[in-house]
């Protein structure tokens, strides 16, 4: 998405009186493209489900679980992530998990979301694939009618499991293509390159699934190239290490390949030492189709709004930067042209009418 020219004279003064740019980005309609449903499981909900399903957790209290969600790398996070996912056993559990995320998304002004789930995390524990999908899908359908949130469901393969497991998972998914629109690749990146999964992704493409892949987070830029060339990825999840390869950057810019960047996650997992060192602004300045997302919000300290606020404060993003990030997400969404245009128009209209909305906020009136 080209840099926005929607800044209006006089808007800055209004923003100063109403919390400035933070108010703008909190109220702005949004699209989220990179959120793992299992990663939205809050400790309180985890303990509730554990008690209901008879699951013994290694943490004795909710407080201890909160404390444990401090990580040194991707693997230490995954250990906690799989512990949390172990409480999800029945179809209603997946409905509740998804519903809880969607209510938070609604509060964050999210209009469209594309959610990930990891079927192997559940089927390897004996949970039927159909129960997982059914629970998630019911919540997504309800959110469309009740909250006005459109959605797409993307299953991810765990790259640290066997190829045979990936093939079985795709086999199961093929019976639910009316509910699943895409397939991705996630989990521990180092030592598990995209090239290990060429065949299963070829089958997924033949079945009509849209393709995404985690690459270039902890892994090298070469993993991004492999995801594009060998898996047929249409979007790269994370992708922040692309700046280490100028030729790759030029390709990503020329081909308008979106990057679903997750700032809080990147800092918590030590991809960057601090938010001030995050390269999101550089990605934008190089013309890359970068977006902001929450990844695993219950584990990394924030949902979509918190990610926007944190990166805006640390990097000094201006209103044009924020709007560009939001419009990039609209461009990158797996939606039809009518829905995309509707999302774009809503966002542009919001930006153009922001001074009047901001005055309403300042006066305590409707927005």
Q: Where do the domains of the chain lie? A: 31-357
The arithmetic mean of pLDDT across residues 307-319, rounded, is 97
Is the Cβ–Cβ distance between 166 and 137 less than 8 Å?
A: no
**pLDDT, averaged across the chain:** 92
Tokens of 230: 């060998």
Look up residue 141 and give its two tokens: 């359908």
CA atoms within 13 A on the CB side of 54: 1
> pLDDT (tens digit, 9 = 90+) per residue, 32-89?
999 999 999 999 999 999 999 999 998 889 998 988 887 777 778 888 899 999 999 9
Helix axis angle, 20-27 relative to 354-362, nearest 10°? Answer: 110
What distance in Å separates the CA atoms of residue 85 and residue 122, rounded to the nearest whole number?
8
* Alpha-carbon span 19 to 17, nearest angstrom: 6
pLDDT given for residue 362 in this prediction:
66
State the Cα–Cα distance between residues 367 and 355, nearest whole angstrom: 11
- Which among 109, 145, 144 has a CA at the least distance from the CA of 357? 109
Q: Which of 97, 177, 170 is nearest to 135 (CA)?
A: 97
Residue that is written with structure tokens 């999210």 in the block = 110
- Rounded to an integer, what distance in angstroms lies between the CA atom of residue 149 and that of residue 105? 9
CATH class given for the domain over 31-357: alpha beta
Say which residue, 18 or 240, is predicted with more confidence: 240
Which has more confidence, 210 or 80? 210
Q: Which of 284, 300, 183 is nearest to 237 (CA)?
A: 183
Question: Is 217 tagged catalytic?
Answer: yes
For 292, phi and psi rounded to 5 degrees?
-115, 135
Q: Which of 217, 218, 226, 234 is catalytic?
A: 217
324 sits in the region (left: phi over 0; alpha: psi -120 to 50; else beta) called: alpha
CA dist 52 and 195 (Å) reads 41
d(C-alpha 161, C-alpha 180), whole Å: 21
Query: Distance between CA atoms of 292 and 327, rounded to whole angstroms?
Result: 11
CB distance 299 to 81 below 8 Å = yes
Using a 10 angstrom Cβ sphere, with 0-12 exposed, 13-18 middle and 19 or more buried, the burial of residue 140 is: buried
Phi, psi of 154 (to 5 degrees): -125, 125
Radius of gyration of the chain (CA): 20
The closest alpha carbon to 211, from 225, 232, 229, 195, belongs to 232
SS3 of 61, please?
coil
Answer whether 0.85 is exceeded by the pTM: yes
Asked whether the predicted pLDDT for residue 339 surpasses 50, the reply is yes
pLDDT tens digit sequence for 253-289? 999 999 999 999 999 999 999 999 999 999 999 999 9
């Amino acid at each position: 998405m080209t840099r926005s020219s929607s800044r209006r004279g006089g808007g800055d003064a209004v923003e100063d009186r109403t919390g400035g740019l933070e108010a703008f980005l909190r109220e702005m309609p949004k699209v989220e493209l990179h959120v793992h449903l299992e990663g939205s499981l809050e400790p309180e909900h985890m303990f509730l489900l554990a008690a209901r399903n008879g699951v013994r957790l290694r943490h004795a209290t909710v407080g201890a679980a909160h404390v444990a969600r401090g990580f040194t790398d991707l693997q230490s996070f995954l250990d906690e992530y799989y512990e949390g996912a172990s409480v999800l056993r029945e179809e209603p559990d997946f409905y509740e998990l998804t519903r809880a995320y969607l209510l938070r998304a609604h509060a964050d002004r999210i209009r469209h979301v594309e959610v990930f789930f990891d079927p192997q995390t559940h089927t390897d524990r004996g949970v039927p694939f159909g129960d997982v999908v059914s629970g998630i899908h019911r919540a997504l359908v309800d959110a469309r009618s009740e909250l006005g949130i459109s959605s797409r469901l993307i299953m991810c393969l765990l790259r640290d499991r066997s190829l045979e497991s990936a093939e079985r998972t795709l086999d199961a998914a093929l019976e639910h293509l009316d509910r699943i629109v895409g397939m991705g690749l996630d989990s521990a990146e180092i030592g598990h390159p995209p090239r290990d999964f060429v065949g299963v992704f070829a089958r997924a493409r033949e079945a009509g699934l849209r393709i995404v892949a985690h690459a270039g987070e902890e892994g090298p830029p070469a993993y991004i190239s492999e995801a594009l060339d060998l898996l047929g990825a249409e979007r790269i999840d994370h992708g922040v290490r692309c700046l280490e390869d100028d030729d790759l950057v030029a390709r990503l810019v020329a081909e308008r390949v979106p990057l679903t960047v997750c700032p809080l996650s990147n800092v918590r997992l030590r991809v960057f030492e601090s938010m001030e060192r995050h390269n999101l602004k550089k990605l934008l300045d190089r013309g890359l189709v970068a977006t902001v997302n929450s990844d695993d919000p219950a584990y990394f300290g924030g949902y979509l709004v918190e990610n926007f606020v944190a990166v805006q404060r640390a990097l000094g993003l201006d209103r044009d930067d924020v709007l560009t990030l939001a419009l990039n997400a609209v461009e990158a969404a797996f939606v039809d042209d009518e829905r995309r245009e509707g999302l774009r128009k809503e966002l542009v209209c919001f930006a153009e009418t922001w001074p009047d909305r901001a005055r309403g906020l300042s006066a305590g009136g409707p927005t």
